[in-house]
């Protein structure tokens, strides 16, 4: 018996050692409400209604707050069908009358009308998308008391070739990829555009332009195509990030001869306060992209100071530090990490990490201090940027098929392609 026990122990022990570690993930699919979108055909306004319904359907799908919506469009004669057996949690009926869109929202179980919404007068058909977004935003707020990201925009760059030279211009689009608009016409190279927080009462963005030879921080207006250099600092400036309150601008500069992390303080009008400060440097290492905590008191950045590029957290004091700040390594699971983006709720940091040979998006949970993989698939993913709901991310793929923008939400983890036309869309950044 003793021999048998010993045999069993020694038989299973190597299996325990050699067995691969599997993460057992219990599916905790959040129960999302379902929605029926109903409408009666109006032949005169067919195109308008079709656009509106498509936008509403897309907003519901992309929101991550509802199940895939069901659509029911019936003729006048069959209008009674709209009231037949609702299987969804909510029914939303839409109509267009007197140049206005109307939404009636019902709770299916008791067949009670919860509320009605109506849009402003539609002056041009090109405003249909904007109106549909606005009504969806109101509907979600009334139903779930949540703000959506339908009014958030995305900055990104489009790379192309002109006269055998690569050029890259800054563009902007809606959160779903529509209304793409070119912002720069420099025929030069621009990367890393980020929105300047709106507290300065202006609509601006900062990006890196190579138009004067070296890479420098430039300021551009969302309404015009003029750009200006903003940082009189020697050497190259790269990889900007700005705090949510707009009081700190971080970037990488090689002014010292190394790629170091710098921070420039700004006053409430957006004017630079003093000189930029070198906040992290390490011999034989380079620092790369960074992202501020929403309260601006910490920064996460990439450094290869310990061998391979990893993410580090650092506190940002208000006074000259009397002791050394702690730099905490947070990306432990993978060796090659980059492009951190701190969520607006302060709880998560999205980043890229080389996972079985492919760069995937990972999430670091600041509360549990755990990392988990968000994306899968064979294409490399880069430059994740959180939307202000802290639920959605935009990122770009890179590979043989070109570079495309995708929107993904942390709940269902299904990436949605949002770029419509260009082949090389990169460096996306959500509007704060």
Partner 1 sequence: MKKVGIFSLTLLLTMSFFSCQKNSNETWENVKTAGNYLHKGIDSLWSGDKDSKLLGLNSQNDGPQEEDYLPLEDSDLRSQFKATDTAIAQSSKTAKSGIPNYAHYKKPSNNTASIFKNIYFPPDGHVVQEKEDLQIIADIVRFLKKNRSANLIIEGHCDETMPASYNMALGTRRANQLRVLLIKQGVDSNRLFTVSYGKEKPIALGHTKNDWAKNRRVEFKLYER
Residues numbered 271-310 forming contacts with partner 1, rule: CB under 8 A: 273-284, 286-289, 302, 305-309
CB of residue 16 to partner 1, shortest distance in Å: 10
CB-count exposure of residue 173 (10 Å: 0-12, 13-18, 19+) = buried
CB of residue 363 to partner 1, shortest distance in Å: 16
Q: Is residue 229 near partner 1 by the rule CB under 8 A?
A: yes
Which tokens in the block code for residue 140?
A: 């979600």
Q: Is residue 256 near partner 1 by the rule CB under 8 A?
A: yes
Minimum CB distance to partner 1 smaller for 148 or for 168: 168
Which among 241, 252, 169, 178 is positioned nearest to 432, based on CA atoms? 241
Among 111, 335, 414, 420, binds partner 1 (CB under 8 A): 335
Q: Is residue 355 near partner 1 by the rule CB under 8 A?
A: no
DSSP H helices, 126-185, are 128-144
Minimum CB distance to partner 1 smaller for 135 or for 191: 191
CB burial readout 217-242, b (16+ within 10 A) else e? bbbbebeeeebeebbebebbbbbbbb
Which window, 27-35, 96-104, 197-205, 231-239, contacts partner 1 (CB under 8 A)? 231-239
What gap in Å lies between CA 142 and CA 132, rounded to an integer?
15
Residues numbered 305-334 forming contacts with partner 1, rule: CB under 8 A: 305-309, 314-321, 324-327
Q: How many residues bind partner 1, per CB under 8 A?
A: 87
Q: Is residue 360 near partner 1 by the rule CB under 8 A?
A: no
Among 265, 330, 346, 402, binds partner 1 (CB under 8 A): 265
Residues 189/210, Cβ–Cβ less than 8 Å: yes
Residues numbered 52-91 forming contacts with partner 1, rule: CB under 8 A: none
CB of residue 270 to partner 1, shortest distance in Å: 16
Q: Is residue 168 near partner 1 by the rule CB under 8 A?
A: yes
CB of residue 326 to partner 1, shortest distance in Å: 8
Beta bridge partners of 242: 249
What gap in Å lies between CA 69 and CA 37, rounded to an integer?
7
CB of residue 12 to partner 1, shortest distance in Å: 11
Beta bridge partners of 162: 165
Q: Is residue 405 near partner 1 by the rule CB under 8 A?
A: no
Residue identified by tokens 């250099």 is 229
* Cβ-Cβ contacts under 8 Å for 342 (sequence gap 6 or more): 291, 292, 293, 294, 300, 348, 349, 386
Q: Is residue 154 near partner 1 by the rule CB under 8 A?
A: no
Distance (Å) of CA 127 to CA 47, 123, 131: 13, 7, 6
Among 39, 192, 375, 390, binds partner 1 (CB under 8 A): 192
Q: Is residue 339 near partner 1 by the rule CB under 8 A?
A: yes
């Amino acid at each position: 018996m003793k021999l048998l026990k010993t045999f069993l122990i020694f038989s299973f022990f190597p299996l325990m050692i050699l067995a691969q570690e599997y993460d057992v993930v219990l599916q905790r699919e959040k129960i999302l409400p379902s929605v029926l979108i109903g409408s009666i055909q109006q032949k005169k306004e067919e195109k308008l209604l079709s656009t509106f319904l498509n936008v509403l359907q897309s907003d519901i799908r992309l929101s991550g707050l509802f199940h895939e919506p069901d659509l029911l469009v019936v003729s006048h004669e069959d209008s009674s069908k709209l009231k037949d057996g609702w299987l969804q949690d909510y029914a939303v009926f839409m109509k267009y009358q007197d140049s206005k869109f109307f939404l009636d929202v019902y709770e299916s179980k008791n067949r009670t009308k919860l509320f009605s919404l109506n849009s402003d007068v539609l002056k041009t058909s090109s405003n249909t998308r904007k109106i549909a977004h606005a009504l969806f935003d109101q509907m979600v707020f009334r139903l779930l008391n949540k703000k959506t990201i339908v009014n958030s925009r995305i900055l990104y760059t489009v790379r192309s070739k002109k006269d055998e030279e690569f050029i890259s211009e800054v563009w902007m689009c809606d959160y779903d990829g529509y209304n793409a608009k070119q912002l720069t016409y420099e025929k030069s190279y621009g990367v890393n555009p980020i929105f300047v927080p709106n507290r300065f009462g202006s609509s601006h963005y900062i990006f890196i332009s190579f138009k004067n030879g070296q890479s420098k921080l430039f300021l551009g207006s969302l309404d015009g195509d003029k750009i200006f250099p903003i940082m009189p600092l020697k050497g190259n400036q790269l990889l900007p990030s700005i705090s949510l309150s707009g009081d700190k601008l971080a970037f990488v500069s090689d002014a010292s001869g190394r790629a170091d992390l710098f921070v420039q303080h700004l006053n409430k009008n957006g004017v630079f306060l003093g000189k930029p400060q070198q906040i992290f440097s390490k011999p034989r290492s380079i620092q790369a992209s960074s992202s501020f905590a929403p309260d601006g008191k910490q920064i996460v950045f990439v450094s290869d100071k310990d061998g391979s590029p990893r993410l580090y957290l650092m506190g940002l004091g208000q006074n000259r530090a009397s002791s050394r700040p702690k730099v905490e390594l947070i990306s432990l699971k993978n060796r090659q990490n980059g492009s951190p983006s701190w969520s607006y709720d302060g709880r998560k940091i999205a980043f890229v990490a080389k996972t079985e040979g492919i760069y995937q998006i990972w999430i670091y949970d600041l509360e549990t201090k755990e990392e988990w993989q968000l994306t899968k698939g064979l294409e490399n993913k880069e430059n994740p940027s959180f939307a202000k709901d802290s639920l959605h991310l935009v990122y770009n793929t890179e590979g043989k098929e070109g570079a495309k923008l995708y929107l993904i939400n942390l709940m269902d983890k299904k990436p949605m392609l949002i770029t419509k036309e260009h082949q090389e869309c990169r460096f996306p950044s959500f509007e704060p």
